[in-house]
Amino acid sequence: MSLGRFHHPENGITCYEDLGVLKLLSHIRIEELDDFVQETLGPLVAYDDANKTDYLRTLEIYFQENESLPKAAERMFIHANTLRNRLKKIQDVLGVDLNRADRRVRFYVACQALRIIQHP
């Protein structure tokens, strides 16, 4: 039940089979998850802190909206082109190409792990 709040934060109710990667992550020690998050998202967090930006939130919403530019942009109340520019900047900061599926998966998992770390 506690994992349901990560999948559907608005009501915290979800079916166990709908939890996806959260089922796996919930069995990993918080310290290990934190190491993975720092290794993966650390540069973006540091950039956000230094520049008063919110690129991590942008990335999280982009993944939450299933990588749909129109839906993510609408949710953030920005134009799709603005979102494209933000994603390009995120790629620059992280030094990765998010057009590669293996990279997107790594950052998606890191965002999910961060949710668990922030709300144990």
Domain count, the chain: 1
Looking up residue 45, the CATH number of its domain turns out to be 1.10.10.2840
Q: Which amino acid is at 64?
A: Q
| Model pTM score | 0.82
Range of the domain at 45: 29-118
> In angstroms, rounded to a whole number, what is the distance separating the alpha carbons of residues 71 and 90?
18
In a domain, 15, yes or no: no
Q: Which of the pair, 20 or 67, is modelled with greater confidence?
A: 67
Residues 6+ apart with CB under 8 A from 100: none
The per-residue pLDDT of the chain, averaged, comes to 88
pLDDT, tens digit, for every residue of 38-64?
A: 999 999 999 999 999 999 999 999 999
- Residue 21's pLDDT is 78
